[in-house]
Amino acid sequence: MGIKDKFKKEVKGLKDYIVLVTVDAKNYQKSNLEILSLLVNEQNTPGVYVTLNKPFDVMERLLKQNKIDSRLVIFIDGITRVSENKKRVKNCLFIGSPEKLSDISVAMDQAVKALPTKEKFIFFDSINTLQVFNKPGTVARFTYFLASKIREWKIKGIIISIENDSDEDLINELTQFCDAKIELRGNGKT
Amino acid sequence: MVSIAAISITTVIFGIGALILASRARKRLSPGSLRKYIDNFSVCLSFIVIFSLWQTVRSITNIEVSLSGFSGYPELIFIVFAYIGFIIASYRASKISEEFGFIEEGKEIQRLVKKGK
């Protein structure tokens, strides 16, 4: 079963959901792009992509290469270091560091609320980077905040976690808040 | 006289309370735009609290203070500083809105979604 089919199967019948997607490093990029393609191209759903792993320009290029309409996505880039006066390009806000969790939270809230459509998504990529830059307690509080916000906003939430690189306790805790946990590994198969 | 002193003391207590709340809020935030804004706001608030405190002490003790020829109300200097601080805080708020505001992008996305249907 392919990534898209597995994803569709897990969220079937759910209007709003939180899905924790655990991927192996090999499959990581492909999985992200396939899920994005499903949401943006097939379901015509706009959304917010929080990238803590790949800079915005790389993400934009990848989306273009995979024919995913990046115009429907607002990016929040937490990894690219930028100067104070160059924090914003048209559909992307550069936060500057994954440590700035308050700014990421405010940006997510503003971006989600700015989308006037009924259907929308938030794609959080990834929990692992947060763990590198922040204390475990802070990450746990942030993920709890993220899950509760996704419920409050009544949107589709996709949280990416890279396998073998995550704190098991955090993943177990996060799984409790999620409607589904999808494990994607090995050659694009589940 | 007593009522003026009571009002002044109450004002100072409110001001200090506001500063404590702002400081607690700051502690909970990670570094970034929001925390910088709270810093600016706290500086403005501090000047106003100092101004109120000065006036309260003066109204209770009837002490006249003169600072380098500025004999009337030297505490007004703090109000001037507070307003300068407010200008900086407002400028920061406008920068925050430029950074975090996505309303225009949202409208464009809505137009594209409608077109795509």
Give me the helix-helix angle, A136-153 and A168-177, nearest 10°. Answer: 20
Please give the pLDDT value at position A165: 60
Domain boundaries, chain B: 2-116
Secondary structure of residue A134 in the 3-state scheme: coil
| Torsion angle (degrees, nearest 10) of CA A111, B98, A102, A74 | 30
> Among all chains, which residue has been given the structure tokens 């200090």?
B16
CATH superfamily of this structure's domain A3-184: P-loop containing nucleotide triphosphate hydrolases (3.40.50.300)
Reported ipTM: 0.82
pTM of the model as a whole: 0.86
Extract the runs of DSSP E, i.e. beta strands, from chain A.
17-23, 47-51, 73-77, 88-89, 92-94, 121-125, 156-162, 180-184
Q: Which residue has the higher pLDDT, B71 or B54?
A: B54
Rg of chain A over CA atoms, in angstroms? 15
**Strand partners for A94:** A77
Q: Is residue A187 pLDDT above 60, yes or no? A: no
Q: How far does the CA of residue A77 sit from the closest CA of chain B (Å)?
A: 12
**pLDDT band per the 50, 70, 90 thresholds, residue A30:** very high
Q: Which residue has the tokens 């934009």?
A: A60
Identify the three-state secondary structure at position A106: helix
Please give the mean pLDDT across all residues of chain A: 90
Chain B residues in contact with A44 by the CB 8 A cut-off are 113, 116-117
Note whether B33 contacts A106, CB cutoff 8 Å. Answer: yes
Q: What are phi and psi of A53, to 5 degrees?
A: -110, -45
> Which tokens hold the place of B93?
């708020």
How far apart CA A129 and CA A148 sit, in angstroms, is 20
What residue segments make up the domains of chain A, in order of their start?
Answer: 3-184
